[in-house]
Structure 1
Amino acid sequence: MELRRVQYFVAVAEESHFGRAAARLNMAQPPLSQQIKLLEAEVGVQLLHRTTRKVELTEAGRRFLERAREILAAVDSAVVEANEVASGTLGRIAIGFTGSATYDLLPSFVRAVRADLPGIELDIHGEMLTPRQVAALLDGTLDLAFLRPPVRSPQIEVRVLRREPLIAVLPTQHPLAASDKVRLSDLADDPFITYPSHNRSVVYDAVLDTCQHAGFVPATMHEVAETSTLVSFVAAGLGVALVPASVQHLQITGAAYLPLAGTTSEVELALATRADEPSPLVARVRARAEGLIGGGRRLPPNR
């Protein structure tokens, strides 16, 4: 069934007159009448009663008019939605967040996207370590990732959003917990709670390098994958930890956050997508994220 014939029928039904409908459609009356006859033949029933003065709908025609209007409205909606998808203002996007960004950046980012891009559905994955996010970007599970560089894959484009210092997390009953700052060397005898080792966490390597620069390697290390678990372990008195400064947005009773004295060790937070990502939706959300945090610096592949 041709859509234009449905449009012609609606015009005739609403005008109750072939002449007025033809004028509305900017066409001659004879071809309009012919198209309506072809539509009736296609449907298999008479839709209109014709007289010399007016046109009336049959019972079948009244029902067909209801459905015809729904069809035309659905087509109009489909056109609008297709344009919104093409412009990146409608669709669904999967986004991963590294642990610290889950508690710091995620809430403000979600609020900003929902306010500015209400047609976009966010599929959020929190507490993801960098290697897992990279794998998810490559297999299409994620479209966008907030992670910690370095990322050694030419298939991933990485843009650094900010740098932040490492800070200490101590149990509140720790002798140094009430200090304004803490020297890392003063924690050398404490057990450490860390993110996973063996290239599973960028922050693990940063923590280990920072401790080595302070003259020691933690004698005891307990590894956990999630930031909330790590801070909870510290609060329980199982050890101390070094975390990115944004983790202090996660407030857990029994844990105290302190800046480090005598060190400026920092880690980066970056926004990653697949290289040459064609999706206008991803581009629009990425631009919103960069605007929220303040731009970014693109890193070359295999950094």
Structure 2
Amino acid sequence: MADSIDVKRIRHLVLLSEELHFSRAAERANLSQTAFSRSIQTLEADLGVRLFDRDTRSVTLTAAGRQLLARGRELLGSAGRLVAEANHIAKADGGELKFGAGMMAANLYLADTLTTLRRRIPKLMMKVEVNHWHHLIHQLEQEQIEFFVAYTCDPGRLSDPRFAITLLPAKPTSIFCRGDHPLVQQQAPVTREQLLDYPWSSVLFDEVAPARLRDLLDLPEGTSAPLALGCNDLQLLRSTTLGSDSLLFTWRAWLEDDLRSGALRDVGALLQPGFPGGGCNIASAIVCHAGRTLSPIARQAIELISASAGLPLPPG
């Protein structure tokens, strides 16, 4: 077994594990198939284990390959952070930052954060993946982003020991409808059961969202909110709500102008009985790998996001 490993060959291991096809993996590595195959063979010789089983028709990871793949991804992530930190030290006006955000976090926190980072570090390259928690966790595990800030409908995920998770202050959330919606015009109080008579819209949350909404509305077991439209385009959600009888479940802040004008109404405030606990709030969380040192730029971004969310920063 060799005393040192070429990081490029670790990247080739990851590429082949993703493609399970030598030609496609070699193309992604900008190598000929022969050179790529030789790189994998050399890595196997250096490690002293067979990483892939291959024949004329298929390529599959061996048990050893699967076990070492996670470490390989971690090594590539560490190498990337090392390069990013060195770039930041060498020239304070550049570097690269890759992170993720849920739709609510992107709407509430990122405009100020990205503007400040751009002003501080003019040549900084930023890549922001906007998606829901489940997708962003996968991106973090694959070392494709350094951290993310998002909301999850599953409280159990907030105690995952693999990650360092910082909750941000919760934001008011409710169910909204157009100003002349039948639920608003009726004389009687709005009941939870009536909400089920209309299609619902929402940003894309994770797969447990229907069950959590059922709990929020205290609906019978086996009943779920009729989520008919999931979309990460806020203006599309707004326009479909204004133009139809659909109900919109979302955080309140981005609809304030429409609520003040009467174009939209907070139907959640009309519920009798109201939300359990007297209100509905959801909180995003900042998530990164536990026990890892973030790059200086990522630390700056997290400080700015925390400040934008109103989270007190530790002294010093």
Q: Shorter-chain TM-score: what band?
A: 0.5 to 0.7
SS in 2 for 1:190: coil
CA distance in 1, matches of 2:305, 2:244: 37
Q: Counterpart of 2:280 in structure 1: which amino acid?
A: S
> Which residue number in structure 1 is paired with residue 161 of structure 2?
154
Residue of 97, 102, 109 corresponding to 1:98: 102
8 A Cα contact 1:98 1:148, kept in partner: yes
Match of 1:115 among 119, 124, 134: 119
Task: Write 1 or 2 for the structure with the bigger share of strand.
Answer: 1
Aligned residue number for residue 211 of structure 1: 217
> Is 1:290 aligned to residue 298 of structure 2?
no
Alignment of 1:42-81 (within 5 A): none
Which segments of 5 or more consecutive residues in structure 2 lack a partner in the other structure? 1-84
Letter in 1 for 2:268: L
- Corresponding residue for 1:267? 282
Q: Alpha-carbon deviation of 1:89? A: 6.7
- From 135, 138, 145, the equivalent of 2:138 is 135
Q: Is the 8 A contact 2:162 2:290 kept in 1?
A: yes
Matched to 1:118, the amino acid is P
In structure 1, which of residues 247, 250, 256 is the aligned counterpart of residue 264 of structure 2? 256
| Amino acid paired to 1:280 | P
1:55 is aligned to none
Task: Report the residue type matching 1:241 in the other structure.
Answer: L
Structure having the higher Rg? 1
User: What TM-score, normalized to structure 2?
Assistant: 0.55
The code of the aligned residue for 2:162 comes to Q
Q: Please give the secondary structure, in 1, of the residue aligned with 2:161.
A: coil
TM-score by length of 1: 0.57
The equivalences for 1:178-189 within 5 A come to: 183=190, 185=192, 187-189=194-196
Deviation at 1:212, TM superposition (A): 2.1
> What is the distance in 1 between the residues matched to 2:257 and 2:102?
14
Query: Which amino acid in the other structure matches residue 192 of structure 2?
Result: S
Query: What are the Cα deviations for residues 54-91 of structure 1, in whole angstroms up to 9, with x where unaligned?
Result: xxxxxxxxxxxxxxxxxxxxxxxxxxx94734798741
Instruction: Report the CA distance between 1:272 and its aligned residue.
Output: 1.4
Contact 1:130 1:147 in 2 (8 A): yes
Q: CA RMSD in A?
A: 4.0
Percent identity, aligned pairs only, is: 15
Residue 168 of structure 1 deviates from its aligned partner by 1.7
Aligned length: 214
Q: Is the 8 A contact 1:170 1:256 kept in 2?
A: yes
Q: Is the 8 A contact 1:130 1:202 kept in 2?
A: no
Aligned-partner SS, 1:207: helix
* 5+ residue gaps, structure 1: 1-80, 299-303
Structure 1 residue 242 corresponds to structure 2 residue 245:
no
Distance 1:291 1:132, change over 3 A: same
Give, in whole Å, the separation in 2 of the partners of 1:237 and 1:208.
Answer: 23
Distance 1:173 1:233 in 2: 14
Deviations 1:220-243 (A, max 9, x none): 431414252444432331521221
